[in-house]
Structure 1
């Protein structure tokens, strides 16, 4: 089975399968996708993370490494969780905002290390790897407001839901002990006293990325 065959079984948000792949990779909850799409599987930390024989101690060293990217940390935490390891530390590593619009799905994924991804409803993408003072400030503020939400809700204990439909906004938090999220009609959630500030900062970050990419 080819890597894109995974997406043929259910409706996905974008016409292009490679865009759907990028979308799925944002959530860092399917290690097989990374295994099938990794050009350096034998290099650290992938050699440990993708191994079927890696132990908890090796995985915990990846998390403790200050040079580890946020997405790799999320994957590592999720692998520990799948092995039955209880995660005591609540570390927020990613914030993903999905908005169902007239012509498709807009998605912003912001990660704790300052990197980001934006997928427009048309399928066009921005890959943000160069962190500057403005993006760092917006990211820091976004995570500060997001922690407020995470500390008041609990992790989702079911499989991740399919993308939100038109008129719905969902904010997902990728946390060391699981996936947290909230969703509602766009006007309702943006006006919510708890989620609204985080969504507003996500919108500011998205606008900034679009300006830098233009």
Structure 2
């Protein structure tokens, strides 16, 4: 069964949801990529601003407001130097550093820290995301979803497989130099590869991408991870709606 058919099968069999917090104001999709503008991570009124690593992002914001690029860079590099953070924090740090004109070293520039697969369906958008920190999540177009925060290593091989397939694509293409585009339309699939040098992506109709030598393995890996996510019991995979 192809990924598109598997998504279609889910329309009548979405996982049983449990109540979830209201999504961030920018929407679930917007916070998956680790590329929000520096002024929005964290938001000016966020209670997280006094908590690590958010406090360093807040310090960078303050330094930028004072036109102190050196202090801003130092604060952001504290994020990069801290082990064990979410991959999106490292991506956000690099996003802010690039805004300051700082580029990642060659050995890190194309390292894939996350993969987001977007599938444009008749009813809306389906999303699958996986990160180098071992977390993953699937959001159905209806708003139901499964959030995996790496409580154990059972999905680690599948997440590594998806990141590895994405890495093969990222090494062959350049980063997107403009603002991240809106979600793909009906019948389109977009493979988003998240790196310190920015977003790399490929987009095509599903059948075209499925047959592509580089894109096909990403879709196969995404399908396998999605199946495993949805099969997870509720005690280890938080189900949201």
1:102 to partner: Cα distance? 1.9
What is the aligned counterpart of 1:49 among 41, 50, 57? 57
Structure 2 distance, partners of 1:164, 1:133, is: 32
Structure 1 distance, partners of 2:176, 2:204, is: 16
C-alpha distance 32-108 of structure 1, shift in aligned 2 (>3 A): farther
Mapping 1:134-145, distance limit 5 Å:
134-145=154-165
State whether structure 2 residue 174 is matched by structure 1 residue 154: yes
Give the SS at the match of 1:40. helix
Structure 2 distance, partners of 1:131, 1:102, is: 34
Runs of 4 or more off by more than 4 Å in structure 1?
none
Question: In the alignment, what sits opposite 1:96?
Answer: 116
Give ranges in structure 2 of 5+ residues lacking alignment.
Answer: 1-21, 64-70, 235-241
C-alpha distance 192-38 of structure 1, shift in aligned 2 (>3 A): farther
Structure 1 distance, partners of 2:214, 2:143, is: 30
Which has the higher Rg, Structure 1 or Structure 2?
Answer: 2
Question: In the alignment, what sits opposite 1:186?
Answer: 206
What is the aligned counterpart of 1:25 among 20, 31, 53? 31
1:130 to partner: Cα distance? 2.9
Question: In the alignment, what sits opposite 1:39?
Answer: 47
1:61 to partner: Cα distance? 2.6
Question: In the alignment, what sits opposite 1:8?
Answer: none
Give ranges in structure 1 of 5+ residues lacking alignment.
Answer: 1-16
How many correspondences in the alignment?
Answer: 198
1:113 to partner: Cα distance? 0.4
C-alpha distance 185-120 of structure 1, shift in aligned 2 (>3 A): same
Q: Over residues 86-122 of structure 1, what are the superposed CA-to-partner deviations in whole Å (9 max), with x where a residue is unaligned?
A: 2112221110000011211110011110111211011
TM-score of the two chains, using structure 1 as the length reference? 0.86
1:58 to partner: Cα distance? 2.7
Structure 1 distance, partners of 2:233, 2:125, is: 19
Question: In the alignment, what sits opposite 1:120?
Answer: 140
Indicate if the aligned counterparts of 2:41 and 2:92 stay in contact, CA closer than 8 A: no
Question: In the alignment, what sits opposite 1:110?
Answer: 130
Question: In the alignment, what sits opposite 2:101?
Answer: 84
Give the SS at the match of 1:133. coil
Give the SS at the match of 2:172. coil
Mapping 1:169-184, distance limit 5 Å:
169-184=189-204
Question: In the alignment, what sits opposite 1:7?
Answer: none
Indicate if the aligned counterparts of 1:114 and 1:131 stay in contact, CA closer than 8 A: no
Give the SS at the match of 2:113. strand
Structure 2 distance, partners of 1:83, 1:176, is: 14
Structure 2 distance, partners of 1:105, 1:167, is: 10
TM-score of the two chains, using structure 2 as the length reference? 0.77
C-alpha distance 39-206 of structure 1, shift in aligned 2 (>3 A): farther
